[in-house]
Structure 1
Amino acid sequence: MSSSASPALRRVPLPEGTLPVGLSLLVAGIATYAFFIVGEQALGSEEAFAPIVSLWFATFSLAPGFFLPLEQEMGRALSHRKARAEGGLPVVKRLVTLGAIIVGLVLVAILFASPIITSEYFDGDWWMFAALATAFVAYAPAHLARGICAGTGRFTSYAIVISSDGIVRIVACVALAAIGITAAGPYGFAVALAPLVPVTYVGLRGQLRTKPGPPAEWQEVSQNLGWLLVGTVCAAALLNAGPVTATLLAGPNEQGLVARFGYGVLLARIPLFLFQAVQAALLPRLSRLAAKGEFAEFRDGLRKLMYLVAAVGVVGTAGAFIIGPFVIETVYDTELSGRTLAMLALSSAIYMAGLATAQAVIALQGHKWVALGWSVGVVMFVLGTWLSSDLLFRRIEIGLVISSASALAIFAFALRQKLSSGATPTSDSVMDAITDMPVEG
C-alpha cells in the first residue's frame, strides 16, 4: 500500500515549504498584536479605536471564509497540473472568474444590508462600512495569489503574501499618526488596502505567472469547493464571533468594552497562532502515516498532538486567569478580569483542538463532516449566547466554549469513523488540510 500512496503524496507541494509558511504565520501573528498597540496609540483611546476593532474582526469573519476555499482549490488543481507538466493558466482563469462571481454576490448582499450593518454594527459610520466592503474585495486577489504560489511551489512568495500585509498595516498606521490623522476612517482603509501591496509586489516579480495549458473544466477546480466553502465560512465566523457579537450587543456607552474584549480575544489566540505554524509541518507526516496504512503510528502521532494541545490549553487557561490581567494591562493598557481571559483562553484551546481534528478529517477525505461540525458550532454559539446569560461578556464567553466544544465532538466522531473504515489520504485531501488555516490577521 505504501508504494502506491507515496507517489501521490509526493505531488503535494506545501510540505516542502512548511518552514517559510510557518515563519510567515508567526510574522502575521506578531504584526497583528503590534497593529492593535500602534493603532490605539495613534487614535488616542479605546473608544476611538473601537471602530477599527469592529472592522478588523468583521473583515476576518468574511474574507477567509469565502476566499480560503478558492485558495485551496487553486493550489490543489495547479499542483496536479504541475505534476503532469501541464500549464495552469486555464485553472487560474476559471478560479479568478469564480472569485469575481463570489465577490459580486457577497458585495451585493453587503450593499443591500448596508443601512443595517452601518447603523447596528458601525454605529452609523459609513466610512467604516466602505472600508469593510473594500477589504472584502481586496482579500480576493490575496487568497488567489496564495493559491497560485502554493500550487506552483513558490513558497517564498506564498509567505510574503501571508505576512507582509500585517507589516504594511503597521507602516501605514505609523505614517498616518505621524502626519496627525486622528479620524478612524483612514486607519480603516489601511486595514482594507494592505493585502494588495504584497500581491502587487509578487505579481511584478512574475511569481503569479502560469503557462498556457489544456482547458480547465469546472469539475477540475471545484471537487470539494462547496463543502470547503461551508466549512471555512462557519469556521472563520466562529473564530471571530466574540468581538463581532460584542459590537452588536454593546450599548451606546460601551464602545470601550468592545475594544477591550477584542484585545482579550487576541491575547487568548497566541497559542492558536503558534499552533498553526507547527501544524503546517506536522500534518504532512501524519497524513503519510495514514496513507501507508500505518494507522497505529497515525493514532499515536495524533494522540501526542492532542496531548500537546490539551497541555497548552490547560497552561494557557490557568495563565490567563492568574497573570492575564497583568499582561493585558502591560501590553494594551486596559483591564479585563481573569475570569473573562480564562474563558477566552479555554474557548481558544478547544477551537485549536477542533481545528487540529478537522484538518485530520479533511486529510482523510471527510470534507462533509468538517462542514457539518463548524455549522453546528455556529448554531450552538447563537443558542449559547442567546440563552445563557444577560451579561455582555459572560454570554459571549459561554457561547464560544459551547460552540467550539460542539464542533470538536463532531470532528472527533468523524475521525473515529474515518479511521475505523480504513479511509486514506490523497494528495488532494492533504493539500486541502494543510491550507485549511482560518486564523487570519
Structure 2
Amino acid sequence: MRAIASGRLGTGLHLGVGLGLVALAGYVFVAVVGRVFAGPANAAELSALTSLYLLVNIIGPGLFAALEPELSRAVSAQVAAGEPIRPVARRVALIAVGTLAALALVLALLWPAVLDQVFAQRPSLLVALMVAAAGAAAVYWARGLLSGQQRFGAYGSSLYLEGAARLLPCVVLFLLAVREPAAFGFAFAVGAGVAAVALVPSLRLGPSGVGGPPVGTIGRGLSFLVTATLLTQLVANLAPVVVTYRMPGNAITASAFAVSFVLARIPLMLFAPIQAVLLPHLTRAAELGRIDVVRHRMRQVLLAVGAVGIPSVGLGTLLGPWGVRTLFAVETPPSRLVFGLLAFSAVLIMAALVLQPALVALREQRTVMFAWTAGAVVFLAALLAPIDPIQAALVGQIAGPAVVLGVAAARLALLLPSRP
C-alpha cells in the first residue's frame, strides 16, 4: 500500500488532466453550438444539439461505463490468482455487443414518440447518437482491461485522444462557419470511437487459456452495475432533456437551463478519474481482508469531495450567471439560486459515486443497483411532477442523489466494521 500511495499523485494527475480534456471538449461543444445557433430563430437546433450532448453522456456511460469496473475487477482477480485474462475479456466484449444491438432497437422504437421532437426532426442526430454509443462500448471495454492491469499510462492516453477527437473537429467547424447541426453532432459523437481504435495496439490480452468466473457470474454482476450506471447517468443528465420535452413552446428558456446545467457539472466531470484509480486498490484490499484499508481510503476520498464540492457550490452561486452569459452567449441565464442548487446536486452525486467503488470491491453490486434504483424513482417522480418543469428538475436533482447517498452510506456502515 505504501507503493500505491507513492504513485497516487502522478497517476491521479495524469487521469485528471485527461478527463479534464474530455470535459473541456464537451463544454467547448456546448459553447460553440450556443454561439453558432444563437438567437430565437435557431433555438430548436440549439436545444437538439444540447440534448444530443446530454444523451451521449447518458447512454454511452450509462450502458457501457459499467463494463469498465466489472472487467477491471475480474481482471484484477484473475491476475491476483495467476489465471489468464483473455476469457473474461472475451465474455465482457460479447455482453457489450449484445447490449449495443438492443440499444439500437430501443432508439428506433423511441424515435417517433419522443426523440423526433427532442432532436428537432433530424434523424441524422439519432445516427450520431448510435455512433457515440458504439464508440463508448469499445472504449470502456478497453479501459476496463487497462485498469485491471494497472496500466494507467495507456488509460490516460485514451482520455487525451477522446478529448482531442471531440475538441478539434468542433473548433474547425466553428472556424469554417459551418451551420449544419448534423456536422456538429457527428464531430462530437466520434470521439470515443477514435480513442478505442487508437488503443488497439496497446491491448495485452495474454494467452487464450480457460478459467475465470462463469459467464453467468459476470453477467449477473455486470447487469447490476449496468442498471446502476444507467440510472446514475439518468439522474445526472436527464433533467434538461425532459425540460426541453416539457417546454416545446419555450425553447429559449429550455436551452438556457440546459447550458446552465452543463456548466454546473464541471466538478462532477473532473472527479470521475478517482473511480478508475480507486477500484483496483479497493478490490485487492478487500480480497486480502484489509477492510481497514478500505475504510481509510473512503475517509480520504470523502474529505476530498468536501474540499472540492463546498467551494464549487459557492462559486456556482456567485459566478454561474456570468459564466453562462460569457461562455455560452445566453442573454437571460437562470438565477443564482438555480446555479447553487445545481452545484449542490453535483456534490451529492460525487459523494455517491465515490462510495460505489467500495461497494463493488466488496461484491455488493446488488446494493449499488438498489441505491440508484431508489434514487431514480424519487428523481423521476419529482421530475415529472405537475409543476413548473425547471422547479421539478431542481427538486429531482436534489432528492434523487440524496436517496442514493443515504442508501450506499448505510450499507457501507454495516459492512466495513463487521466484515471479517
What is the TM-score normalised by the length of structure 1?
0.83
- Specify every segment of 5 or more residues in structure 1 that has no aligned partner in the other structure, as ranges: 1-5, 424-441
Partner of residue 321 from structure 1, selected from 317, 322, 325: 317
- On the 8 A contact 1:138/1:193 being kept in 2, the answer is yes
Q: 1:164 to 1:367 in 2, by over 3 A?
A: same
- On the 8 A contact 2:69/2:279 being kept in 1, the answer is no
Aligned length: 409
SS of residue paired to 1:99 = helix
Query: What is aligned with 1:183?
Result: 180
Partner of residue 161 from structure 2, selected from 149, 161, 164: 164
CA distance, structure 2, for counterparts of residue 378 and residue 227 of structure 1: 14
- What is the deviation of 1:286? 6.9
Partner of residue 412 from structure 1, selected from 386, 409, 413: 409
Structure 2 letter corresponding to 1:231: A
Query: What does 1:23-422 align with in structure 2 at a 5 Å threshold?
Result: 23-45=17-39, 47=43, 48-83=45-80, 86-203=83-200, 206-215=201-210, 217-219=214-216, 221-222=218-219, 224-252=221-249, 254-277=250-273, 293=290, 295=292, 299=295, 302-303=298-299, 305-310=301-306, 312-334=308-330, 335-387=333-385, 390-422=387-419
- On the 8 A contact 1:103/1:140 being kept in 2, the answer is yes
- On the 8 A contact 2:75/2:145 being kept in 1, the answer is yes
Q: 1:340 to 1:357 in 2, by over 3 A?
A: same
Structure 2 letter corresponding to 1:208: L
Q: 1:286 to 1:186 in 2, by over 3 A?
A: same
CA distance, structure 1, for counterparts of residue 391 and residue 67 of structure 2: 36
CA distance, structure 2, for counterparts of residue 148 and residue 365 of structure 1: 19
Q: Percent identity?
A: 25
| RMSD value, Cα | 3.0
CA distance, structure 2, for counterparts of residue 202 and residue 399 of structure 1: 38
Q: 1:298 to 1:96 in 2, by over 3 A?
A: closer
Kindly provide the CA deviation profile for residues 183-227 of structure 1, in whole angstroms up to 9, marking residues without a partner as x.
101111112222221222222xx2125233213541464462121
- On the 8 A contact 1:61/1:240 being kept in 2, the answer is yes
- On the 8 A contact 1:90/1:215 being kept in 2, the answer is yes
SS of residue paired to 1:37 = helix
CA distance, structure 2, for counterparts of residue 123 and residue 396 of structure 1: 22
- What is the deviation of 1:356? 2.0
- Specify every segment of 5 or more residues in structure 2 that has no aligned partner in the other structure, as ranges: none
What is the TM-score normalised by the length of structure 2?
0.86
Structure 2 letter corresponding to 1:132: L
SS of residue paired to 1:224 = helix
Q: 1:127 to 1:301 in 2, by over 3 A?
A: closer
